[in-house]
Structure 1
Amino acid sequence: MRVITGELKNKVDRVWDAFWSGGISNPLEVIEQITYLLFIRRLDELQTTKERKARVTKQGLENPIFLQDTDHLRWSRFKGLGSPQAMYQVVSEEVFPFLRELGSDGSTYTAHMQDARFTIPTPSLLSRVVDMLDDIPMEERDTNGDLYEYLLGKLASAGVNGQFRTPRHIINLMVAMMAPGPEDSICDPACGTAGFLVAASEYVRKNHSTVLTDPAVRQHFSRGMFHGYDFDSTMLRIGSMNMLMHGIDSPDIRYRDSLSEGASEDTAKYSVILANPPFAGSLNYEETSKDLQRVVKTKKTELLFLALFLKLLKPGGRAAVIVPDGVLFGSSTAHKGIRKALVEDQKLDAVVKLPSGVFRPYAGVSTAVLVFTKTDSGGTDDVWFYDVRADGFSLDDKRNAVQANDLPDALNRWTLRTTTEHGRARTEQSFVVTKADIVAQSYDLSLSRYKEVVTDATEHRSPLEIIADIQDLEGQIAEGLEELRTMLK
């Protein structure tokens, strides 16, 4: 990922500090207020495009966003008002009510703005935020995306319900392992800030030029490829804006409790799932989809999400998802059942063990990436294991950049797993385990179960030899003391 630098970064930092000194100390609220203003500016840009088209075609304005009586609510109008106080009054008393009442423009964004609240406390702070955002060229996707990623990077505390941001470099590894293409339909059923969907869009854009040149492919890319669900309306707003800032016009970002009955309509709909679902503990049976309970009878959210992923995938669809270590070796009937289903009924491709410091400072939980393909007819012959010991950052709360980084090697070996990896010993950092061995271990998927540790044999001298050496040293000490006594007489 590129990073914003220089004057723009300094402006963002200064505005961020101003929010905090102004009494808004919740990072989510800061980003949410900036999101609303970015959306308001986006509406003005869209109106300007419509007006330009109307002038060129000599036809009337098609589906205008702002009418004559609301024209003064456009970004380009209120930013030019003479005083911060005047702008503050228009934005708080007119622009935000307008935003809440806005009709659909064919995207999912307007739906997420219906409960928009304006909480910027002072005219001077609003003026500073508007000035900062006005300096950003909206037509430059890279700058927009980098700005938003920088803002999201300031989410330095865990959210509710076990939510915390997945580090971008881990997301990129998982996306590259999936290698999505322009024909895929990609879903994250616990999308949060949409990090996986954004990374997948960047991967497809970089590796498949047809998304820019073929109109049909571009249409699918902008409106049909990316799907995300969350039950946190703030996250939906932020995730939607993250996608918009990265050049995805109309992603399907929707409110949904993914483990409830409501997910049934999307059965076998997606070809790729990328996710880091919340590990929130337990749910009531009554709140959980009966379809998922038929797959795995449990209250554990991490197991229910695995059942959900299998439900949402098309036959042949593939998934890379983060799970807590307990999923790999838990001894309950539900734990064993879901692992057996992955190995026997589907095609389990890989288990990538992550170091326990990957999610610091948010959480110290040990995790792994499970990679599997939905077949409903088995197909697991062997499973590839990789032990990530270093991810390019220190594994403490500071997470400073360091030299050691196994992720490039992990990706390279993943691409070669069907050839060179089968010959590697289980003492290596990556190796292949046969299905028969996994069955023999009651479907335990923890890497330590199969890793062979070789210790160098150490030869120890016999106790009698050691005693003889001690006696010899004692004799030398006695002789030295006698010489010293003689010298002092």
Structure 2
Amino acid sequence: MPQHDIRRRIEAIWAECWRSGMYEPVEIMEQMLYLLFLRRLDDLQASRLIGPLHAPQGPLWSPAGAEDHLMHWSRFKDLRGAEMYALLADHVFPRLRCLGGPGSAYAQHMKGVRFSIPSAAALARLVTLIEALPRQAGRRGCAAYDYLAGKLAGIGARGAYTTPPCITGLMVALVAPCPGDIVCSPVGGDGNFLVGVAEYLAQCHPAMFADPNASEHFHHRMFHAYDSDKTMLRIACMNLALRGVINPDIRYTNSVAPDVAGEEDRYSIVLAHPSTAGLRHQDAASTAHAEIVMVAQFLRMLKRGGRAAVIVPRHILNGSSPAHLALRRQLVEEQQVDAVITFSAGLSDRHAGLPKSLLLFTRTDCGGNHPIWFYDVQCDSGDADAAGAAQRNARRRGPWRGGSPAAGNAHNRVPELMLRWGQGGGAAIGAGRAARLRVRRDRIARASHCRSVKRYRSGWRMDG
């Protein structure tokens, strides 16, 4: 379904909320998201799309009691307004607060779910509008749900740190999770990285779900995340529930705290887009130092042999403070830096004009012998006017427009990047003007361990 059509339909539901007396944007989006979640969960169970990922304990959403037969979306959506309102307020939402059962991460974070639709008439109209939204087959779920969850995750200061789905898919593919991995998203947000890993494993390692030990590991020990935003934790729980994960480890913890006691040497994969939105009241030097500390934390959290994909601001790669130099020296000389991928025009519309880089590294504690692979996605080249126009367009739309890594349109560079990564930086393909090169570690050491791709431009090859 086209994005503009989804937006138009969501705006119609939003207008209905306003007419009903709901004016707080976060509250409106949360109520719509809960209703969409109930519909999607009912659809998945009806079609048994969740089934292959579940252990014998059964589905997460298993209402019990006298109202059992009415507590699913397919049943209550046809009730009269007053009857439906009483059912949701007295039975469905209290059960939603216990999602996953006592002691689960779901129940811990979903206990804050509130039913705040003001009247039975308003509920009936909203359910009718939501039921009219098209359903999308497959494990990816409802496009309207994904759109709304992304909008809610992008609200406020931390919205500048949301990660576009195609970048999430890229990071997951680069670390290539295996059935035995233990994955952590230390700045969990809406759970997009964990969802990406679950989908990658379902696609690339489907046989693991037929193995009782691998399935048990997947459902109870593989997924870990923490965040300090309770709304994000609820979204993460719902996203993972829709992917059939029974018992993830999702914790309410300060994501930027300098202490990681108990988390050292624990994870085989770390995926992160660090958010310092809560620190923006501090001066630039303090914020930069906090970002350096976070990257160092991620390294300590890895087991030996563990790998990480982390999106970092530009100063991490070329800053000249002692802290910057110490971090880069540690990564280059003591660990294995595999790749530095630069997003010159930002990650998306929201990130336009904010250059960032993806840092891919492996913890070895003994350094590495391989050259570091640099990849820089630049605007199309040509005459000055054309280059300027292309740069403005890139900043307006971002170089990664196009959705999933499988999308092969002119603006999505993820498939090309993944192909070059698999080829080890081989011959030029396509018409993209992305540049890549491999740089020896001794050359990086002579440049104060600077990992800004501009430092090594001389002599590199341009694609196209």
Q: TM-score range by the shorter chain?
A: 0.7 to 0.9
Contact 1:390 1:405 in 2 (8 A): no
Structure 2 CA distance for aligned equivalents of residues 428 and 161 of structure 1: 29
Displacement of 1:353? 0.6
Q: 1:407 aligns with which of 411, 414, 430?
A: 414
- Equivalent residue for 1:67? 65
CA shift digits 1:192-247 (9 cap, x unpaired): 11111111211111111213322322222223222111110100101111122233
Contact 2:71 2:91 in 1 (8 A): no
- The residue type equivalent to 1:410 in the other structure is L
Q: 1:211 aligns with which of 208, 212, 227?
A: 208
Matched, 1:273 2:270: yes
Unaligned runs of 5+ in 1: 50-62, 286-296, 422-426, 455-489
- Equivalent residue for 2:316? 327
Matched, 1:264 2:270: no
> Measured at CA, do residues 103 and 346 of structure 1 come closer, stay the same or move farther in structure 2, by a change above 3 Å?
closer
- The residue type equivalent to 1:32 in the other structure is E
> Measured at CA, do residues 374 and 409 of structure 1 come closer, stay the same or move farther in structure 2, by a change above 3 Å?
same
Corresponding residue SS for 2:30: helix
> Measured at CA, do residues 149 and 330 of structure 1 come closer, stay the same or move farther in structure 2, by a change above 3 Å?
same
Instruction: Name the count of aligned residue pairs.
Output: 421
Between 1 and 2, higher relative CO (CA 8 Å, sep ≥ 6) is seen in 2
Alignment of 1:38-187 (within 5 A): 65-68=63-66, 74-75=71-72, 79=76, 83-92=80-89, 95-96=92-93, 99-100=96-97, 104-105=101-102, 107-131=104-128, 142=139, 144=141, 146-155=143-152, 157-161=154-158, 163-187=160-184
Matched, 1:376 2:365: yes
TM-score normalised over the length of structure 2: 0.77
Contact 2:341 2:374 in 1 (8 A): yes
- Equivalent residue for 2:298? 309
Corresponding residue SS for 2:251: strand
- The residue type equivalent to 1:406 in the other structure is R
**Percent of matched pairs sharing the same residue:** 38
Structure 2 CA distance for aligned equivalents of residues 67 and 207 of structure 1: 39
Unaligned runs of 5+ in 2: 48-60, 381-389, 403-408, 428-432
> Measured at CA, do residues 205 and 26 of structure 1 come closer, stay the same or move farther in structure 2, by a change above 3 Å?
farther
> Measured at CA, do residues 195 and 86 of structure 1 come closer, stay the same or move farther in structure 2, by a change above 3 Å?
same
Displacement of 1:276? 0.7
Corresponding residue SS for 2:260: helix
- The residue type equivalent to 2:304 in the other structure is P
CA shift digits 1:450-469 (9 cap, x unpaired): 11279xxxxxxxxxxxxxxx
CA shift digits 1:170-201 (9 cap, x unpaired): 11111111111111111111121111111121
Structure 1 CA distance for aligned equivalents of residues 167 and 85 of structure 2: 41
- Equivalent residue for 1:36? 34
Structure 2 CA distance for aligned equivalents of residues 414 and 80 of structure 1: 49
Contact 2:135 2:143 in 1 (8 A): no
Q: 2:195 aligns with which of 191, 198, 203?
A: 198
- The residue type equivalent to 2:368 in the other structure is G
CA shift digits 1:133-163 (9 cap, x unpaired): 6679999652635443232344495433465
- The residue type equivalent to 1:225 in the other structure is M
Q: CA RMSD in A?
A: 4.0
Matched, 1:253 2:250: yes
Q: 1:189 aligns with which of 186, 190, 203?
A: 186
Structure 1 CA distance for aligned equivalents of residues 226 and 138 of structure 2: 24
Structure 1 CA distance for aligned equivalents of residues 373 and 4 of structure 2: 43
Structure 1 CA distance for aligned equivalents of residues 265 and 256 of structure 2: 15
TM-score normalised over the length of structure 1: 0.73
Displacement of 1:130? 3.3
